[in-house]
Amino acid sequence: MGHTVRLMAPQFVKPYVKTNKNDAADAEAICEAVARPNMRFVPVKNVEQQAVLALHRVRQGFVRARTAQANQIRGLLGEFGLIIPQGIGYIATRVPE
């Protein structure tokens, strides 16, 4: 239809939202943000870039889950008076003891 599609990052549009988050307020904020002369746009990612970002996101989730599990183990052992220092390496070395 002759339109030029450009992507805007949400953090660049957020300052223009005036009221609660709903579709109408979001659309108004996008219209106001796109009209600004100094608005920065985000380039479209190709499939390889999206795959790498997805891999990083999955890994981040695994790291977060591992940290939560280590903290839970540390807390439970602390209830029995067994103190383990912070750090993922201490869990693997001291829990078998």
Quote the longest CA-to-CA distance of the chain.
Answer: 70
Instruction: Give the residue, 50 or 39, on which the prediction is more confident.
Output: 50
The strand pairing partners of 42, in sequence order, are: 7
Domain boundaries, the chain: 1-44, 47-94
| Predicted local distance difference test score (pLDDT) of residue 15 | 85
**Is residue 57's pLDDT more than 90?**
yes
Q: What is the rounded CA–CA span in Å between residue 70 and residue 67?
A: 5
SS3 label, residue 42: strand
pLDDT digits (tens, 9 = 90+) for 10-46: 888 888 888 888 888 888 888 888 888 888 888 888 9
Q: What is the rounded CA–CA span in Å between residue 11 and residue 28?
A: 15
User: 77 near 84, Cβ under 8 Å?
Assistant: yes
User: 45 near 53, Cβ under 8 Å?
Assistant: yes
SS3 label, residue 86: coil
**Is residue 97's pLDDT more than 80?**
no
pTM exceeding 0.85: no
